[in-house]
Amino acid sequence: KCLIPYFKSVCNKNFINGNVEYYRLYKNPDYFPKYDEFHNKVSDINTFENEKLEDVTFQHTLEVDFANKKIGGGVIGNGCVQEEIRFITHPETIVSRLFMEQFADNEAA
């Protein structure tokens, strides 16, 4: 019910000025870190305490979905947790449900 008005609004404002890219990522289980033996620092992390995720606008940002075996979880059905909320607030991500098959345990998108 809310998706068609969203896309009409976006298209009428010439808002489309970027790309949405989709990647399916695979990690060979043989190379999974053995976290119980891992004592090194993983990496630096930037945190933004006073900003919402949707307000952080860096040129090269990345969002990863790995919460559910089906991309978007229950966004088209009755789901209403973090993954579904993320997809419904960014409806352009819902198109990924057309071409992303169910994830294996070592995959993400």
Per DSSP, the chain holds a count of helices (H) and strands (E) of 2, 2
Task: Choose the catalytic residue: 84, 92, 105, 107.
Answer: 84
**pLDDT given at position 1:** 59
Which residues fall within 8 angstroms of residue 105, CB to CB, at 6 or more apart? none
Lookup: tokens for 108: 């993400």
Which residues fall within 8 angstroms of residue 80, CB to CB, at 6 or more apart? 74
Q: Is 105 a catalytic residue?
A: no
pLDDT (mean) for 82-97: 81
pLDDT higher than threshold 70 for residue 16: no
Task: Choose the catalytic residue: 30, 36, 54, 83.
Answer: 83
pLDDT higher than threshold 80 for residue 96: yes
**pLDDT given at position 35:** 74
User: For a pLDDT cut of 70, what percent of the chain falls above it?
Assistant: 71
Q: Is 83 a catalytic residue?
A: yes
Task: Choose the catalytic residue: 65, 92, 101, 107.
Answer: 65
Q: Is 84 a catalytic residue?
A: yes
